[in-house]
Structure 1
C-alpha cells in the first residue's frame, strides 16, 4: 500500500524571508534616512552665539571660561523669566537685539533697568533708538584687528581685538568710546546713575568659538561679560509663550520637525503602494474548482474538527442537522426548528418518548430528547461518538413507516 507523504501548509523560513525582505529593506532605508535627516537638521539648527553650541559660530568656549571664573551662565528664552531673573548682580547679554519683537524689547528694557550691566551685540539704528535713546548709529565697516585707543580698563588689558561692524556715538558725558574706526566707536559703554551700565559692541564675532583665541578677544569678552556672578544669555525661541494680545495658529503649536515626518510618511506610503500594487495586464481565464463529493467534504471537515479538538463545534453541527430533520418529520416550521421550547414538546407529543429498542437503555422521554438535542458539549472523543450514535437512534425511532431509517430500526428489532 502506498502512502502519500503529508504536505506541510506552514510557511518555511526561506519563504518568510522572501516575502519579508522587501519590507525589511524599505524599513531599514527609512530608518537610516530618518537618522541622517535628524542629524543634518540638528546641525542646521545649531543656533549661532549659543553658549551650549561647540560649532564655530557657537559660544560654548566662552561659557566654559566664564564658568571657570565663577560666573554662572543661564540661557533664557522666555521674556517673563528674563524680568524675574534680572538683578543688580547679573549681566544681561542680548546677542540678536535686531530680531526682537516689540513685546521682547519691552521685556529687555525692563530687565536692563534692574541689571548690573546690559550688553547689546551689533544693534542697528532702529534698535538703538528703541532701547537706548540718544545713540547715533553709523554704517558698518568690515571686522579687523583694532586698537583700543581709550581709557577703559577692560580695553587696555585686552589690547587689540577683532572689532568693526556698526559704529556708535553718544552725546552723554558718561560715555566711553573704544576701538574707534574712522572716528566712531565700535565699543561704546554708557553709564547711568540710576541703573547699571550698557555696552554696545559693533560686532559679535569676538564671542564666537572660532575667533575667541585671536588677539585679545577672549580677554575683552571675559571682562565685559564676567563683571557679575550671574550672566543671563537671552536667546528668545519661537516656542516662547505669546504675549497677551498675540494669537498663534494650529501649525505654530506643532513641533518643528512635523513637516519632515509627514513627508517621510508620504514617501513610505507611496513605496508601499508601488511594491504591493497589482500589475495590470490582459485577462486570464481560470478553470473553475472541481466538484468534491459530499462524503469527502464531510470527512475532511471532520478531520479538521478532530485536529483542532473542537468537539463543541462538531457536536453543535450534528445536533443542528438532527434538529432540522426531526422538525421536518414532526411538522415544526423550519424557523422554529432550533427552539427547544417548541421542538421538544412537539416530538414528545408525537410519541417519540416510547421505549428504546435496546431493553437495557432508558426510554426516550422529553428530558432525554432535550439533553440529546440541546445538551452540553461532550468532554472527549468517546462522548462525541456516543452522542452521534444516540442522535442516529433518535432519528430511527421517529422515522415514518417505510422509510430507510424505519427499515433499519425494524431490522435491528427482529435480529436475534
Structure 2
C-alpha cells in the first residue's frame, strides 16, 4: 500500500510564510534607509557634529572659522584630562552625571584655570559643581536683556537665555560673581570665579543659544561665540550612557540592567508587542473540533495489541487489570439487566451476576473487584477467568 505524505509542499510553505517574510523585508529596508538618512548628520543633543535642529554644528563651525579647535569627549575622565588654562569645557548634561563624574568635573573646575560652561545644571548638581549657587525657579520668559556689565552680554544684547533655570547666589561663597539676563530678579546666566586665577564657571540656564535652530535669533550667536570662544581650545563633554548615572549614585554599584539606557527598555517593549501580535496573527484559530480522515486505517486489534505492549513495557499490571475488569463489568451489566451507571458498584452487580452462575463456580467479587495481579502470569490468568465468567453468564 502506498502511503500518503502529510509533509507540507513548497507551495504551502510559501503561502504560510510569505506574509512574515514580506513584513521582515519591509522592516529591514526601513531600518537601512533610516540609518542612511541619519548617517553623518545626526549624533545627538548639543553635539557639535550634529546638523539637526537640536545639535550644535553651526556654532562649532563658526568657532572653527575664528581659530577655536573643538574636541568631543564622552567620559568625565577624558574631560578632566583635556581641561587646562587655554580650554573651555562645555558640560552638556551635568544633571546626568554620577558621583565619580561630578568629582572629576569639579577637579577640572578647581585646577584647570580655564572656563567651564555648565548647560542647565539643576538643584542636585549645583552644590557639587558650583557651591554657593542655587536654582531660583523657572524663567518664564524666553528672551531676556543682559542687565549686567559682562562684556559678552553687553555686546550680544537681548538673547534667548530664559525658559529653563534661574539662579541665586550666596554672597559669602560667590564673591565676584556676575549675574546676567535676569528674569523676575534672578539671573539665567551666572559667571563664577574659580580658586585658580584666570578660571571661571558659567552657569547657563538654557541651551537655546547653543542650538542650530535658534542660533540666528536675537543675540544668541554673539553670546554663544563669546562664551565658548574665549579660549583657543573648546572641549564638548557629551556624557555617554555608560558614563552617566543619576546624581548621588555611583555607576560602579549599578547592576548591568540598571546601566542599560532607558531607550533600550522601550525598544524591547515594542519588540515584545510586535512578537505577541505576530504570534496571534499566525496562531491556529480556536474553534469546534473537526474530523479528519486518517491517511492510514488501523485495525482495532492492532491498536489493542499496541496498547497492551505499552502496558507490558511500563509494567502497568494495575492499569491493565483495571481496564480488563471495567470492560467485563460493563458487558456483564448489559447481560444481567443492571443499569450502566451501576455497573461498577459491587453491591448491585455481584448479586445480579451470581444468580446466573452455578454455585461456587467463580469468586465473582474477587474477579471483578479484586486486587492487582502480582505478576504477568497472574494477569493472564485473570484475563482467562474473566472470559470464562462472561461466557458462562451468556450461556446461562
Task: Tell me, yes or no, whether TM beats 0.5.
Answer: yes
1:153 matched residue in structure 2: 151
Partners of 2:289 and 2:234 in 1: how far apart? 69
- If asked which structure has higher relative contact order (CA below 8 Å, sep 6+), I would say 2
Shift of 1:161: 0.6
1:178 matched residue in structure 2: 180
Instruction: Select which of 269, 273, 293 maps to 1:284.
Output: 293
2:268 matched residue in structure 1: 259
> Cα deviations across residues 147-195 of structure 1 (Å, max 9, x unaligned)?
2132222112211111223133352442222222233322121223525
1:27 matched residue in structure 2: 21
Structure 1 counterpart SS, 2:81: helix
Instruction: Select which of 185, 197, 200 maps to 1:197.
Output: 200
* CA distance 1:147–1:84, shift in 2 (3 Å): same
Instruction: State the TM-score, normalizing by the size of structure 1.
Output: 0.56
1:234 matched residue in structure 2: 237
Instruction: Select which of 122, 134, 137 maps to 2:135.
Output: 137
Instruction: State the TM-score, normalizing by the size of structure 2.
Output: 0.58
1:224 matched residue in structure 2: 227
1:119 matched residue in structure 2: 117
Partners of 2:206 and 2:47 in 1: how far apart? 15
* CA distance 1:191–1:65, shift in 2 (3 Å): same
* CA distance 1:241–1:105, shift in 2 (3 Å): closer
- Are 1:59 and 2:45 counterparts? no
Partners of 1:158 and 1:18 in 2: how far apart? 72
Note the residue ranges of structure 1 that are not aligned, 5 or more in a row: 1-14, 290-416
* CA distance 1:68–1:182, shift in 2 (3 Å): same
Larger Rg: 1
Q: Structure 2 matches for 1:37-56, cutoff 5 A?
A: 39=34, 47-56=44-53
* CA distance 1:197–1:138, shift in 2 (3 Å): same
Shift of 1:36: 4.2
* CA distance 1:93–1:264, shift in 2 (3 Å): same
- Are 1:208 and 2:205 counterparts? no
Instruction: Select which of 231, 246, 249 maps to 2:252.
Output: 246
- Are 1:110 and 2:119 counterparts? no
Q: Is the 8 A contact 2:147 2:180 kept in 1?
A: yes
Shift of 1:212: 0.9
Structure 2 counterpart SS, 1:88: coil
Partners of 2:260 and 2:177 in 1: how far apart? 46
Between stretches 213-222 and 187-196, larger displacement belongs to: 187-196
Q: Is the 8 A contact 1:169 1:184 kept in 2?
A: no
Partners of 1:59 and 1:177 in 2: how far apart? 25
* CA distance 1:73–1:254, shift in 2 (3 Å): same
* CA distance 1:135–1:19, shift in 2 (3 Å): closer
Note the residue ranges of structure 2 that are not aligned, 5 or more in a row: 1-8, 299-396
Shift of 1:69: 2.3
Shift of 1:145: 2.2
Q: Report the count of equivalent residues.
A: 273
Q: Is the 8 A contact 1:149 1:180 kept in 2?
A: yes
Partners of 2:212 and 2:244 in 1: how far apart? 30
Shift of 1:34: 4.7
